[in-house]
Amino acid sequence: MKRPETDLHLHLDGSLSIEVIRQLADETGYDFEGRSMKECVSVGENCESLVEYLKCFDLPGQLLQTEKALELASKDLVERLAKQGVIYAEIRFAPQLHIKKGLSKEKTVEAVIRGVEKGMEHSSIKAGVLLCSMVNGSDRENEETFEIAGSYLKKGVAGVDIAGPEGMVPMEHFEPLFKKAYRKDIPFTIHAGECGDSDHILKAVSYGAKRIGHGCAAIHSETCMDLLKKEKITLEMCVISNLQTKAVASIKEHPLKAFYDRGIRVTYNTDNITVSDTTLNKEAELIKKYLGFTEADLRQMNRYALEGAFLDQAEKEKIIAFFDNNNYNE
């Protein structure tokens, strides 16, 4: 059987299939100007920077501006994950990036939830939606995203996040936003320490974050690593993406194994399936080959992911039991 896997850190707009891109481009009359579809949405092996990486989101951003498009993309993504042996995923997107043609943020959320639910219909995969506020978004837009998350919590929405260019706005600017989410029991993860400072991670944890997106910079701080271990914070690490954006200089320097060996709850994730041209299996094989992970280690990381999932406790226990009973041909 395929290895039962999880993906806690997965962006919808960075994970469109070529088939969905083709369909949506045909419907909107998008002109590729002689470029291949893959060239427009994948960085390949020679990405030089985060700026270059982010260019691959331009086309998805143009295509995902209707309820139909958002529902189609979400459904297709969940179905592809199920076929790959994924048993749990959290799919994140920023509602405020999909309102250019007049959709309300609520309508974007409802469309993605519908797509995810339809994608789960014919398999045992469980998937939830994370709503992203944006570092470079307005305060009001970010507040609205969190308010919408509260309204749809446990109705398809699993929690919230903040994404975008780390460091553009000081992390402490978002403290009131996350403290409010904490008081309202809205689960949240925070993109922190991807290519920024370990101090961002410390602040994120102080706001109540139980998970951190990426967190590579923690390797530079004993205090930060000790805190992550003590507080049982789950790190959503994305190795291939980190290499492409130059968050980490080389595979041998990636901190995933150092964190794991230290007892920090690390997980491996795709970040953006299409932009990074990756899959969970590709990530797994890479870290086995170059970082020395074993199948038992992979199993432990997937269990960490399920333990850190934004799920009701009863549902979490059910899926962990399924995971434990359907594992590995060892």
Catalytic residue positions, numbered: 194
In contact, 12 and 74? CB cutoff 8 Å: yes
Give the integer Cα–Cα distance in Å for 267 and 164.
21
